[in-house]
Amino acid sequence: MNRWLDADIPDVAGHLFGRDRLSLSPARAGLKEAFGPVCFYCGSRVPADNPVDHVLPWSRVGIDGIANLVLACRRCNGDKLHALPSLALMDRALARDRGILEQIADSIAWPTEYGRVLSAARGVYRGEPVGAPTWDGFRRSRQLDVVFPPDWLRVDV
């Protein structure tokens, strides 16, 4: 069942036994430079010390890679908390330019982990029941509907 554990997994012990949360502040400047000083979720301008958010909640997948990180305003970050983002938000996060994400990661010696984020997203969304609530912005939710899934979620991709 765990045959994939012998693959190039950056933190097997962390996967098996849990890990401490990292400070995400080193990623803040690169994300601002690449995508502008705006909240990924609502587009509002963010202050110098804004939060960096895990698109797929850390509590669900524990992935700190740049591909799973976005800038967030305090309002959206506080409202989203541990909620699963809507498919539309996850789609936007995965559609970001991978080259730019790699540049950010290289500049701060941080992993991108795009493949892990994509795999985790597939697993999490496929495991959720149809109609499960997802977070779609400040005080908005959307029921999970995978009748017409994005390309990254399709089984045949």
User: What is the pTM for the complete model shown?
Assistant: 0.85
CA geometry: angle 71, 10, 7, nearest 5 deg: 130
9-68 pLDDT per residue, tens: 555 555 555 556 678 999 999 999 999 999 999 999 999 999 999 999 999 999 999 999
pLDDT digits (tens, 9 = 90+) for 10-20: 555 555 555 56
Contact 144, 87 (CB under 8 A): yes
Looking at residue 132, the DSSP 8-state letter turns out to be -
Q: What are the structural domain ranges in the chain?
A: 3-153
Q: Identify the band that residue 149 occupies on the pLDDT scale cut at 50, 70 and 90.
A: confident
What whole-number distance in Å separates Cα of residue 49 and Cα of residue 54? 16
Contact indicator for 134, 142 with CB cutoff of 8 Å: yes
Question: Is the distance from CB of 61 to CB of 68 less than 8 angstroms?
Answer: yes
Whether 82 has a pLDDT exceeding 90, the answer reads yes
Residue type, 48: A
Q: Please tell me the predicted confidence (pLDDT) of residue 17.
A: 52
pLDDT in tens, 84-112: 999 999 999 999 999 999 999 999 999 99
State mean pLDDT over 103-127. Answer: 96
Q: Are 130 and 146 in contact (CB under 8 A)?
A: yes
